[in-house]
Structure formats: structure tokens, C-alpha cells
Amino acid sequence: MPDDLSKAHRIEQIASTIAACRSCQLCESRKNPVPGDGDCNAKLVIVGEGPGAWEDEQGKPFVGRSGKLLDQIIEKHGELKRSEIFITNVVKCRPPGNRTPLPDEIKMCKDHLVAQLNTIRPRAILCMGSTAAQTLSGQTASLTRLRGRNLSGLNPAIIATFHPSYGLRMGESVVKLMESDFVLACSIALGA
């Protein structure tokens, strides 16, 4: 099987595993699992925290207000189209009331994320928000300290930025920092 076909197949298998997953309580209250979507050959993977209400309804990541801000940032900078990126979350089922996922939920769901990353093998991962940044970098500092640089030094690069919901709350100054983190992640992903 050609490599990209087997990758697409593997990504579908991971999505089926997520749909059948009963490892934590989040499966009980979710409407739909949200495994993530996009290009299984993506050079850039974006990782958020967990699905919100819109994502839970549609089974797709970042389709609500946060997703609109993410779309604006992607479109404004134009290095990559959304369809060329793979977008997912640390936890694949909506935490009730959009609370932060609990450490156990993150731990149970991490295997799914690692399986996705090992299949796609991106050059860069952009972590949006401290849940994603801390889960993938293993560092516990605040986002203000973690953002704006490569936290791994290895392939894949790990870049942290603010979560779009924080950008929506704080306005232009934070959105500008998110844009510059996105440009950094794209330039590493595209090898510039």
C-alpha cells in the first residue's frame, strides 16, 4: 500500500479506536467523539485542549468561535491552508461545561494523540493553550514563558501559543502574539 494511503488508513483506525474508547468518563457525556481532521501527511499539526459544544455537535475540531479565530490566523498568513494542516485536541471528547480536562482524562487520551503524531510525523506541532503545551512539552511553566520558541529542539519542533479562547477574551495584543507563533511554526514546518 502506498505510504500516504496506509497513513490515511491508520488515521481512520485511530478515529475508530477513539469512537469506541471508554477509558474515561468523558465518553458518557459527549455527543460525538472529535478525533481531529486534516491532512494525514501534514507538516504542521495543531493541538488544542478539548472539543467545545460546537465541536461536540459536529464531531469536528475547532468549528466554533475559537475555530473562527484560528481560521482567520491561518488565512491571514497564508503559508498553509487549513486543509493542509492536521488539527486535533489533547482530549477527544468534550469535557462537561468546557471545563479543563482532568489529569487522568489527559493521561487516558494521550495514547490516541501520540498514535496520531507517530502516524503523521509532522515537522512542527503548534500547541494552543497550556493543556496542550504542558502535555506535549512536559514543561509546567506558564504559557507566557513557554510560547514563542521551539520547546523540543528535536523533530518535531514543539511551539506553544495561547488558546484562541484567550485570544478572543484578550483581544488584539494576544492575537498578534498567536500570529507570530503560528508563523514560527509554519516556517519550521515548511523548512524555511
Interface with ligand URA by CB under 6 A: which range of 37-45, 48-56, 145-153, 169-177?
Answer: 48-56
Examine residue 35 and tell whether it contacts ligand URA (CB under 6 A): no
Q: How far is the CB of 88 from ligand URA (least distance, A)?
A: 8
Q: Which of 51, 59, 156, 167 binds ligand URA (CB under 6 A)?
A: 51
Contact indicator for 27, 21 with CB cutoff of 8 Å? yes
Examine residue 130 and tell whether it contacts ligand URA (CB under 6 A): no
Instruction: Give the closest residue to 179 by CA, choosing from 78, 52, 82, 85.
Output: 78
Please tell me the distance from the alpha carbon of residue 106 to that of residue 90, in angstroms, as a whole number. Answer: 7
CB nearer ligand URA, residue 50 or residue 122: 50
Examine residue 49 and tell whether it contacts ligand URA (CB under 6 A): yes
5 by Cβ neighbours in 10 Å (0-12 / 13-18 / 19+) ranks as exposed
CB nearer ligand URA, residue 5 or residue 114: 114
Examine residue 116 and tell whether it contacts ligand URA (CB under 6 A): no
Looking at beta carbons, which residue is closest to ligand URA?
A: 48
In the chain, the N- to C-terminal Cα span, in Å, equals 31
Beta strands in the chain (DSSP E): 37-38, 44-48, 86-89, 124-128, 157-161
CB nearer ligand URA, residue 6 or residue 142: 142
Contact indicator for 148, 181 with CB cutoff of 8 Å? yes
Which 162-181 residues touch ligand URA, going by CB under 6 A?
Answer: none
The grid coordinates of residue 28 equal 458518557
Binding site for ligand URA (CB under 6 A): 48-52, 55, 61-62, 64, 66, 89
